[in-house]
């Protein structure tokens, strides 16, 4: 696995990064394509002023960034929320810590077939993510909107098996989070994370159901536990949570991505 990660990271670096400057500390940060990577590009010049040569590596799934970080192939990642990181640590034993809250991407449910969720017919198909955290987040959104009811005590990771009331007899199809935009041609509606919706040309304002901006799903900047107190981590956090980056997020995403600072 480490060799595979090394090859993937080498390809990513060759595709989009400049050689590290001799007078700056190289910090490789993994992100998913779209807003996460765009924001990190905006962080680069701020980080450079603090002595960091930030290199942004894009990966199109939610698995490799934590594998690469745990393996020591990169220094940080910026793509996940705290419940997802907690789940990864519990399942895989990663020694990874979040060091800062970054931005929130309100989850949306989209449709090419229907203008509102009320128009989704009884027995309609809904695509949700197949990982426990994001799939559970989608089910919690549907419960919050009164579409389904979940078994009590399921926390942040309910599954389809935890649905106890489904009056419209909706059918749930679980797919990889990165593939949810593509599933729109085949289902009545799909729950899509904003960082996958935006690159697919979907506007979060067009979602037929949308998560409220509050809640536990603010994204985090993560590093290995052994690195969390190092000076470069503090410099990276200060660069990310700067007024310049906040202004970039507000201007670029128009409320679809919400800064946490």
* DSSP-derived 3-state class of residue 216: coil
DSSP 146: T
* Separation between Cα atoms, residue 131 and residue 141, nearest integer Å: 15
* Separation between Cα atoms, residue 257 and residue 250, nearest integer Å: 8
Q: CB atoms < 10 A from the CB of 219, how many?
A: 25
**Helix (H) / strand (E) containing 83:** helix 82-92
- Residue 24 confidence (pLDDT): 86
Do 222 and 212 form a contact (C-beta atoms < 8 A)? no
pTM (predicted TM-score): 0.74
* Separation between Cα atoms, residue 108 and residue 87, nearest integer Å: 22
Q: Which of 97, 54, 102 is nearest to 224 (CA)?
A: 97
Calculate the dihedral angle through the C-alpha atoms of 112, 114, 120, 125, rounding to the nearest 10 degrees. Answer: -10
- Residue 9 confidence (pLDDT): 59
- Residue 165 confidence (pLDDT): 98
Do 108 and 197 form a contact (C-beta atoms < 8 A)? yes
Q: Give the residue range(s) of CATH 3.40.190.10 domains in the chain.
A: 2-104+216-259, 108-210
Q: CB atoms < 10 A from the CB of 2, how many?
A: 12
Do 170 and 123 form a contact (C-beta atoms < 8 A)? yes
Q: Is the dihedral of CA 2, 102, 214, 183 positive or negative?
A: negative
- Residue 8 confidence (pLDDT): 60
Q: What is the mean pLDDT of each run of 10 residues along the chain (261 residues)?
A: 53 50 86 95 98 97 94 97 93 97 93 98 98 93 97 92 98 97 97 90 90 84 98 98 97 89 94
- Residue 195 confidence (pLDDT): 83
- Residue 7 confidence (pLDDT): 46
* Separation between Cα atoms, residue 219 and residue 225, nearest integer Å: 18
Q: Please report where in the chains the tokens 């904003």 appear, as a residue.
A: 194
* DSSP-derived 3-state class of residue 235: helix
> 108-210: CATH homologous superfamily?
Periplasmic binding protein-like II (3.40.190.10)
- Residue 168 confidence (pLDDT): 98
Cα-based distances in Å from 140 to 114, 137, 145: 21, 5, 9
Q: What is the CATH number of domain 2-104+216-259?
A: 3.40.190.10
Q: Which of 96, 254, 109, 98 is nearest to 196 (CA)?
A: 109
* DSSP-derived 3-state class of residue 212: coil
């Amino acid at each position: 696995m480490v060799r595979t990660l090394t090859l993937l990271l080498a390809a990513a670096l060759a595709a989009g990064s400049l050689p590290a400057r001799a007078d700056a500390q190289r910090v490789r940060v993994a992100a998913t394509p779209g807003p996460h990577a765009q924001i990190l590009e905006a962080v680069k010049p701020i980080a450079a002023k603090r002595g960091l040569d930030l290199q942004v590596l894009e990966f199109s799934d939610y698995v490799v960034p934590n594998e690469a970080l745990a393996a020591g192939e990169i220094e940080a990642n910026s793509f996940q929320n705290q419940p997802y990181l907690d789940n990864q640590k519990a399942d895989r034993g990663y020694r990874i810590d979040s060091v800062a809250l970054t931005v929130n991407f309100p989850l949306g449910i989209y449709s090419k077939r229907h203008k509102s969720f009320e128009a989704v017919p009884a027995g309609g198909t809904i695509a949700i993510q197949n990982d426990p955290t994001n799939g559970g987040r989608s089910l919690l959104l549907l419960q919050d909107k009164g579409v389904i009811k979940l078994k009590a005590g399921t926390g942040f990771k309910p599954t389809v098996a935890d649905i106890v009331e489904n009056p419209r007899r909706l059918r749930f199809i679980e797919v990889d989070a990165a593939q949810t935009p593509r599933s729109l041609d085949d289902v009545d509606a799909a729950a899509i994370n904003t960082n996958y919706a935006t690159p697919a040309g979907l506007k979060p304002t067009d979602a037929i159901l949308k998560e409220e901006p509050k809640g536990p799903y603010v994204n985090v900047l993560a590093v290995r536990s052994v690195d969390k107190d190092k000076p470069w981590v503090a410099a990276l956090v200060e660069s990310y949570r700067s007024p310049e980056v906040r202004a970039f997020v507000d201007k670029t995403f128009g409320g679809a991505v919400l800064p946490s600072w």
